[in-house]
Amino acid sequence: MKTILVTGGTGYIGSHTVVQLLNAGINVVILDNLCNSNKAVIQRIENLTNKSPYFVEGDIRDRTTLRHLFEQYSCDAVIHFAGLKAVGESEENPLKYFDNNVSGSVTLFEEMLRVNVNTLIFSSSATVYGNPGVVCYSESTPLQPINVYGQTKLMVEDILRSLKKSKPDFQIALLRYFNPVGAHESGQMGEDPFGTPNNLMPFISQVAIGTRPQLMVYGNNYPTPDGTGLRDYIHVEDLAAGHLAALNHLGPDNSFITVNLGTGRPYSVLEVIKSFEKASGKTIPYEVVGPRSGDLAEYYADPSFAKTVLGWEAKLGIDRMCADSWRWQKNNPKGYL
Ligand code: NAD
Ligand code: UFG
């Protein structure tokens, strides 16, 4: 039976992936410092799977923790979710992001090398493309991130491309996520941001449950059909399944892949509001304000390579994304607290 180290495994995408790994009969060790997640997630994972992941509370930058972990558990692969992801904060505090996301990743890779764990899946992001002048991003679209968070993701990608050249035995998948939303169908696991949500779906959910009075729609003068921003939202369960597909694909003959994980079908802010209203039966009050700095009008994945190479494609549409987000929010009005 395989054992996989999941860094950031108590976080939003990590927790959903851990459930799928455990359900697939894979042992899981989670390493998370809980800087953006709650330990209560573990109990939910156990409820959903009747299995227990091993949990190590610690930091990917802490070499001693990593050494102990790799001594204690014999890991076959690493799925590396741990990272900070707030674009605005990355601009205000770049060193924090370079330290956590880049130095932390280097420390993790060095310790993997020491113990010959050479299979890795890395959480990259569509943000590595920056503002390339096209709206449909394929994996060969030029990479030019426009914020520090995106730079950290591209730097780690570059580090892994160099690592692969120097250590051909490494098997690496770089997965570029578009906009993950939704929650586990049970309503027991979902996104639980600390403080005010930066992202659209958790903000809408909190308006629907009454935690916040209204949504601010950032701009309605974009060159899009209804004037609001278009994004490629992808259900977190589809995204998690993409990791299992990547894990299955990697092997001596398929040892380095870079794949977009998106649906290829973008939705506008107003379309998401409408779908959420339908799913929840609630009205979402909103006010249109000016555009948010750094936002693009529109982008979405070309998901065809993922289908060809991994045999993976997203299955769940926007109505299901909203229904599952709402079920999670309704059952857990204060998140995991
Ligand atoms: P999240 O914040 O819910 O999960 C990240 C987890 O990593 C958290 O549990 C946090 O406590 C942990 N962590 C952070 N720094 C750590 C460190 N130094 N040591 C140990 N643990 C640490 O975020 P998420 O949405 O689940 O994202 C997971 C990954 O996917 C991140 O790398 C993120 O950058 C990437 N990503 C996310 C999105 C998105 O919109 N959610 C989009 C593209 C890429
Ligand atoms: N939006 C609003 N009001 C809000 C929040 C968002 O109108 O309160 C709009 C944005 O302007 C955008 C859309 O909703 O048009 C989606 O915004 P999100 O903040 O949910 O997502 P982004 O596309 O801006 O960014 C997300 C992640 C980044 C990641 C990027 C990758 O937050 O970390 O996707 O594609 F880099």
pLDDT of the residue at 332: 97
Rounded Cα–Cα distance for residues 28 and 23 (Å) = 11
CATH for the 200-231+265-306+317-331 domain, from 3.90.25.10, 2.60.120.380, 2.40.160.20, 3.20.20.80: 3.90.25.10
User: Could you list the active site residues?
Assistant: 149
Residue 1: the pLDDT is 74
pLDDT for 337 equals: 84
Q: What is the pTM of this model?
A: 0.98
Residue to mutate, 6, 35, 153, ligand 1, most ligand atoms under 8 Å from C-beta: 35
What is the residue-level pLDDT of the chain in tens, covering all 337 positions?
799 999 999 999 999 999 999 999 999 999 999 999 999 999 999 999 999 999 999 999 999 999 999 999 999 999 999 999 999 999 999 999 999 999 999 999 999 999 999 999 999 999 999 999 999 999 999 999 999 999 999 999 999 999 999 999 999 999 999 999 999 999 999 999 999 999 999 999 999 999 999 999 999 999 999 999 999 999 999 999 999 999 999 999 999 999 999 999 999 999 999 999 999 999 999 999 999 999 999 999 999 999 999 999 999 999 999 999 999 999 999 999 8
Expressed in angstroms and rounded, the spacing between residue 147 Cα and the centre of ligand 1 is 17
Q: In what order do the strands lie in the sheet with 119-125?
A: 54-57, 27-32, 3-7, 77-80, 119-125, 171-177, 256-261
Query: What number does the ligand 1 atom closest to the CA of 127 have?
Result: 43
Would you put residue 133 in left (φ > 0), alpha (ψ -120 to 50) or beta? Answer: left
Check: CB of residue 34 under 8 Å from CB of residue 56: no
Nearest CA-CA partner of 181 in 111, 292, 261, 61? 261
Maximum Cα–Cα distance across the chain: 56
The pLDDT score that the predictor gives to residue 264 is 98
- Separation of CA 106 and ligand 2 centre (Å): 28
**Residue 112 near residue 124, CB atoms below 8 Å:** no
Q: Where are the domains of the chain?
A: 3-182+233-263, 200-231+265-306+317-331
The atom number, within ligand 1, closest to the CA of 199 reads 40
The whole-number pLDDT of residue 27 equals 98
Q: Token pair 């096209």 is at which residue?
A: 134
What would the two tokens of residue 97 be?
């992001």
pLDDT of residue 29: 99
Instruction: Decide which of 1.10.3720.10, 3.90.320.10, 3.20.20.300, 3.40.50.720 is the CATH code for 3-182+233-263.
Output: 3.40.50.720
Structure tokens at 151: 């730079």
- What pLDDT, on a 0 to 100 scale, did the predictor assign at position 120? 98
DSSP 255-301: -EEEEEES-S--EEHHHHHHHHHHHHS----EEEEPPPTT--SB-EE
Q: Which residues lie across from 181 on neighbouring strands?
A: 235
Going from the Cα of 80 to the center of ligand 2, the distance in angstroms, rounded, reads 22
What distances in angstroms separate CA 101 from CA 83, 198, 293, one per listed residue?
A: 5, 19, 23
Closest ligand 2 atom, CA of 230?
A: 15
